[in-house]
Amino acid sequence: MDAKEIIARRVAQELHDRTLVNLGIGLPTLVAHHVPKGMLVAFQSENGIIGFGARPPEGMEDPNLTDAGGGFISAIPGAYAFDSATSFALIRGGHLDMTVLGGLQVDAKGRLANWMVPGKMVAGMGGAMDLVAGARRVVVAMQHAAKGAAKIVPELTLPPTSSRPVSLVVTDLAVIEPTPDGLVLRERAPGVTVGDILAVTTAPLILPDSIPEMTL
């Protein structure tokens, strides 16, 4: 199982029946492939739809039906389309049960940075700041380290996306929960030791007596 697959499968375990969920661009979109059978999860795309499905076959795309990354999608029966003010009323208004976002850094306070690298990459925040401020649960899905450099750090060195701490961080190595006392190491990926995780984490981690392996 590759890193992305581990992350997507583990994040999917955070899904609950009859909830509204927003998946960020990139890695988080993979979570949609792992919805447990029989569970109804309504996925929102912030460009204006709840209830989207897979990309249609070539030649059957609708130019007026795309996801937030600009890719063609389909609408499943019961879908709902809306404007951008409604979309973010859903996000900020407490109606969104969970968002899954990619991350560049998470710090010891649980703060996320994911929208720019000063002097290198300025993507813009898009909807990320609203999602972190407004979703009931914010799950960060990211690689644990970038080419060996820690992404879970004592203090953000990149501009924060919000002052609000995220709810959970799922990486290819670990599940980490930000708490008022600090970051708690909850789970290890299969075959990964606590030492492996500490070696690529510069933020202090609280280690409970039991840190089980993820069940994927």
Partner 1 sequence: MRKPLTAEQAAALVPDGATVMIGGFLGVGSPKRVIDALVARGAKGLTVIGNDTGRPDLGIGRLIVAGCVARAIVSHIGTNPVTQQKMIAGEMRVDLVPQGTLAERIRAGGAGLGGFLTPTGVGTSVAEGKQVLTVDGRDYLLEKPLRADIALLHCYEADYYANLTYRLTAQNFNPLMALAADIVIAEPDEIVPIGVIPPDHVRTPGILVTHLVERPH
Using rule CB under 8 A, residue 130 touches partner 1: yes
Q: Which is closer to partner 1, CB of 7 or CB of 132?
A: 132
Q: Which is closer to partner 1, CB of 79 or CB of 216?
A: 79
* Inter-residue contact 25 to 51 (CB < 8 Å): no
| Cα atoms in the 13 Å half-sphere on the side-chain side of 188 | 16
Cα of 187 vs its chain's centroid, Å: 17
Q: Which stretch binds partner 1 (CB under 8 A): 10-18, 145-153, 160-168, 204-212?
A: 160-168
| Cα atoms in the 13 Å half-sphere on the side-chain side of 95 | 13
Kindly state the smallest distance separating residue 206's Cβ from partner 1, in Å: 23
Using rule CB under 8 A, residue 63 touches partner 1: yes
CA 135/CA 162 separation, integer angstroms: 12
Using rule CB under 8 A, residue 167 touches partner 1: no
- With CA atoms as reference, report the closest residue to 50 among 65, 63, 30: 65
* Inter-residue contact 100 to 112 (CB < 8 Å): no
Answer yes or no: 155 catalytic: no
Contacts for 33 with CB less than 8 Å, ≥ 6 apart: 8
- Which of 5, 46, 155, 177 is an active site residue? 46
User: For partner 1, which residue of 22, 29, 44, 45 counts as binding (CB under 8 A)?
Assistant: 45
User: For partner 1, which residue of 2, 58, 83, 209 counts as binding (CB under 8 A)?
Assistant: 83
Name the site residues for partner 1 (rule: CB under 8 A): 45-49, 62-70, 75, 81-85, 87-88, 91-92, 121-130, 133-134, 159-164
